[in-house]
Amino acid sequence: MKVLEAIAFFGVEIVFFLLVFLFLVFEKTLSIFGALAALVALSLLVGRYPVLHQFLRRGFSTYKIPSILLGLLFILVLPILLKERPYHIFILFNAGLFALLALGLNWQIGSTNIV
C-alpha cells in the first residue's frame, strides 16, 4: 500500500511537470489552451476535493527530500529538453530573474516595515 501511495504521489508531480512542459512546447493555440486547461483542471481538483488535497499534503510531508530532489531534477532537465528552443530558455530565464528580483524587493520592503 505504501508503494502504491508513493507511485501515485510522484505520478501526480510528474503529470504537473509534463503539463507545464507541454504548455511550453506546443505551438498551436488549441494545444496551448488544452495544456493550460488541463493544468487548471488538475489544480482545481486538488483544491476542490479535500481527500486529494490531504493526499498531496501527506505525500509532501512523507516524501519531503525525494519530492524536492524530483523538483530539482525537473528544473535541471527542462533546459536539456528545450535545447532546440532557445527562446523558451530565454523566457524562463527572464521569468526566474524577475521572480528573484520580486523576492528581493519583498524582503527589503518587509525589513523596513513599509506596508
Per-residue pLDDT of 12-62, as tens digits, reads: 889 999 999 999 889 899 999 999 999 999 999 988 999 988 998 998 899
Per-residue pLDDT of 51-74, as tens digits, reads: 988 998 998 899 999 999 999 999
Per-residue pLDDT of 84-93, as tens digits, reads: 999 989 998 9
- Map out the domains of the chain as residue ranges: 2-83, 85-115
Query: Coil, strand, or helix at residue 82?
Result: coil
Half-sphere exposure (CA, 13 Å, Cβ side) for 99? 6
Grid cell 486529494 in the structure block, residue = 52
Whole-prediction pTM? 0.76
Which residue in 115, 96, 94 sits closest to 106, CA to CA? Answer: 115
pLDDT band at 95 (very low <50, low <70, confident <90, very high): very high
- In the 8-state DSSP scheme, what is residue 112? T
